[in-house]
Structure 1
């Protein structure tokens, strides 16, 4: 489907700019796009899928995989969450040190209860986060993501086009990696091992 692809050129431009600003004498051990120092720390004020107010600070000590999507997404979101579940399985016991934060870009329909049922169908380490339209838009802009609501149909249903990158933060809440849809599970598993094994900051 065309949804979620509309923002691919913008995402590639961001990745290109990040790569252009990263000049190193020696290659870094990460396989994914290293965004260390190029994105702000993990920071937000939202509501989790238990109805509890949470902030980015509540996830300090965990490696966080941040993804923007919505529960009515017909393709990219369920596929991405299914892939992340496989990644978590491959990490084994190390996965307990990670959290998948699924931020809804459709707060009108994605209540905490809806989010809880959705994310837990994929992985127990996934947390659904939602907030009002202003908070969601601000967080999306913070990480140079984007989304837009498509025109609704006669029955009132609608879809939302959105960026599909995964942002990875270390245990200190520092932005470290950007995983695009073209990245392999092997590369994501490899890089998460680096962050989870030592919590190091290469």
Structure 2
């Protein structure tokens, strides 16, 4: 518990330092431009098969009947991902038992490194209601296309990093798109958006 709180505090500090980057959903490099008519599809119209961090097969049709929070990221992410997962953890804690009605997912954009085991270890630092998803690159690309998310592998030094959409996507229990929480959006704005899809 202490380790998780330290990680959340550290993530929030890092987030404050990079807040000026403005990495919102429509503003992330390579994302859909502001004012575009392209919005995420209803979950019921998507088709992909991924594996969760416990080894179970997951399809979007499994999500119908519960509101959903979706975030694209990866375990080697130095700042945006731990900050956002820290924010999601705090949102879920504040929502209390209502958060139990949500499907909350991190979809990895780095299947080369993010095995189910790697995701499980990483997510142990955050709220246990967050489920990590990974799978073949083609399936992740299909998922990203349905959610209108983007990601790109960027060489760096002797390795690489991943550029990706930074917003948190919200969906109603019938699979309808319910809105976006921008990167590092204040809790006083984020929580009402989540509560709307919970109704």
Q: TM-score, normalised by structure 2?
A: 0.79
User: Residue 17 of structure 1 is aligned with which of 36, 49, 56?
Assistant: 36
User: Residue 188 of structure 1 is aligned with which of 175, 187, 190?
Assistant: 190
Offset of residue 191 of structure 1: 1.9
Which stretches in structure 2 are left out of the alignment for 5+ residues? Answer: 1-17
Larger radius of gyration: 1
Does the CA contact (< 8 Å) of 1:56 and 1:173 recur in 2? no
User: Residue 82 of structure 1 is aligned with which of 81, 86, 107?
Assistant: 86
Q: Which residue of 2 aligns with 1:24?
A: none
Does the CA contact (< 8 Å) of 1:120 and 1:126 recur in 2? no
Does the CA contact (< 8 Å) of 2:29 and 2:163 recur in 1? no
Q: Which residue of 1 aligns with 2:153?
A: 149
Does the CA contact (< 8 Å) of 1:67 and 1:166 recur in 2? yes
| Pair 182,113 (structure 1): closer, same or farther in 2 beyond 3 Å | closer
List structure 1 runs of 4+ shifted beyond 3 angstroms.
Answer: 4-7, 9-12
Q: Which residue of 1 aligns with 2:3?
A: none
Q: Which residue of 2 aligns with 1:115?
A: 119
Query: 2: CA distance between counterparts of 1:10 and 1:185?
Result: 26
Which stretches in structure 1 are left out of the alignment for 5+ residues? Answer: 19-34
Q: Tell me if 1:8 matches 2:10.
A: no
Q: Which residue of 1 aligns with 2:134?
A: 130
Does the CA contact (< 8 Å) of 2:51 and 2:135 recur in 1? yes
| Pair 121,132 (structure 1): closer, same or farther in 2 beyond 3 Å | same
User: Residue 77 of structure 2 is aligned with which of 54, 69, 73?
Assistant: 73
Q: TM-score, normalised by structure 1?
A: 0.78
Equivalent residues, number: 175
In structure 1, the residue corresponding to 2:160 is in which secondary structure? coil
Q: Deviations over 1:53-106 (max 9, x none)?
A: 111122222211111110000000000000011111111111111122100000
Q: CA RMSD in A?
A: 2.3
Does the CA contact (< 8 Å) of 2:108 and 2:132 recur in 1? yes
Q: Which residue of 1 aligns with 2:11?
A: none
Q: Deviations over 1:23-76 (max 9, x none)?
A: xxxxxxxxxxxx9xx431223311111111111122222211111110000000
Q: Deviations over 1:127-148 (max 9, x none)?
A: 0000111111121122221111
Does the CA contact (< 8 Å) of 2:49 and 2:57 recur in 1? yes
Query: 1: CA distance between counterparts of 2:120 and 2:130?
Result: 9
Q: Which residue of 2 aligns with 1:97?
A: 101
Query: 2: CA distance between counterparts of 1:81 and 1:107?
Result: 18
User: Residue 174 of structure 1 is aligned with which of 152, 176, 196?
Assistant: 176
| Pair 10,158 (structure 1): closer, same or farther in 2 beyond 3 Å | closer
More helix by percentage: 2
